[in-house]
Structure 1
Amino acid sequence: MAYIPAGIRSDIVRRLGRQGFRELASFIAAGPDGRDAVYEREVLEEVDLDEFIFVSSLANEGSLYRPFLIRCLEAGNTTAQYVEGLRLAVKLGPSRHSLDLMKGAEEYVVYAMFAYGVFSICAGNYEEGMESMYVLINRLGWLDSVVQIGDTVMAQISDIEPPMTGNYNATYRFPDGDVPNCIYFACNADDVCFDCISYWYSRRVRHMC
């Protein structure tokens, strides 16, 4: 690959990376020049890491792909911020760092807004969490869309393999006065409405983690 001018090589790598991080494997395997091109900040910042969202266990410690994720995180890749923030929140429990990572990805990763909302509630930051959920609900407008996002986040949490050790038992806060009345006569964890979606999903996260 040495015969390819560096500028052209970088542009090729960046374009391929936008199609998915696995497209870069051949450049890494080709030798130092290809590897260096892949590890350029601009490439790592823009590379498509959507597979990490839907197969979240790729981010776990011991994963073959985790070192690459961390490089992307250090380069400012927003998907990497979300995935690592979610992993930390699931595995280690309440922390400002994990929430900040998810918060930083909200504008670009729709799942980040939901995850930030429910984990904030679980971490004792009720007002912050509800504000994020209200913004998401108002942005999407359709209950089915919000539920689909919520169920996807739950699947991501499961794939990360939560410890189920009660990490959020001491911090979970959903004020009694704000618990929606519908949970007593109409809704449940598998059949939610706009009023109770934050309540049920935050309880599920508390139970899982």
Structure 2
Amino acid sequence: MVGADSFYYLGGILRAGKRGYALVHEPSVLRKCNVQPMVTFATCQICTGGQFREFFIKCVTAGNTNAIYYEGLYAALIIGVEESIRILQPNVPNHALSTLAVGIFYVCIGNDKEASKLFQQFAANHYDLRSDAIVEMGSDLEWRLTSFGAPYINRYGASFKFPDDKVIKSPRCLYGHDYTVDFEGSYKNCRLFWICGNISHIL
């Protein structure tokens, strides 16, 4: 598939003329195009006013899973997490990072019931909420948000509300140990809680 390895390989096709331009902008190509190198090595260029912004948004519109994920995180900083949730919805529940991000963003705006639903979907489709994978994915979310220019102003501190229901319970160990260490019993959601707190803090 054209562009599946990296969007960089599309440059030569674009230079081939109108037919090349048309091929590159086919929805099937935009949907499968690997935008990760664009986001990782030219982050500012996918943001508003950037060189790759127009092409990147076309990938989002075409349903490119990774483009939707990155655009959702960018929107959380520029517009707000409510818009981010809307953008990320097409990826839920199949894309793990998007599903986790939406759950965390619901925590940030105080919608603990929706957050609980998303975390349950994440656990059913991807990883245990107490697993090492949660820590790794939380770190990825933080790093991506930081790379997009996260302001670290804790704008959602007042509305932050972690679920506390029959399925997803707030941890009873809010202070006193390293959340990257696995604990059982009342500590089982400590990792997820602190990841939510960290994300809220940097927004």
Q: What band does the TM-score fall into relative to the shorter chain? A: 0.7 to 0.9
Q: Check whether the contact 1:164–1:207 (CA below 8 A) recurs between aligned residues.
A: yes
Q: Would you say 1:21 and 2:15 are equivalent positions?
A: no
Q: TM-score by structure 2 length?
A: 0.81
Of 138, 149, 155 in structure 2, the residue corresponding to residue 167 of structure 1 is 155
**Alignment RMSD, CA only?**
2.5
Of 119, 134, 158, 1:146 maps to 134
Superposition pairs for residues 88-103 of structure 1, below 5 Å?
88-95=75-82, 97-103=83-89
Contact kept in structure 2, 1:137 and 1:146, CA below 8 Å? no
Structure 2 regions of 5+ residues with no counterpart? none
Structure-1-length-normalised TM-score: 0.79
Give the count of matched residue pairs.
193
**Closer, same or farther in 2 for the Cα pair 1:27/1:120, shift >3 Å?**
same
One-letter code aligned to 2:63: G
TM-superposed deviation, 1:53: 5.9
Structure-2 residue corresponding to 1:75: 62
- Structure 1, unaligned runs of 5 or more: 1-14
- Candidates 99, 111, 123, aligned match of 2:109: 123
2:200 equivalent in structure 1: 206
CA contact (8 A) 1:121 1:129 kept: yes
Q: Which has the higher helix share?
A: 1
Matches within 5 A, 1:42-53: 42-51=28-37
Q: What is the SS of the residue equivalent to 1:124? A: coil
Larger radius of gyration: 1
How far apart are 1:16 and its partner, in Å? 2.1
Q: What SS class does the counterpart of residue 173 from structure 1 fall into?
A: coil
CA drift at 1:118: 0.9
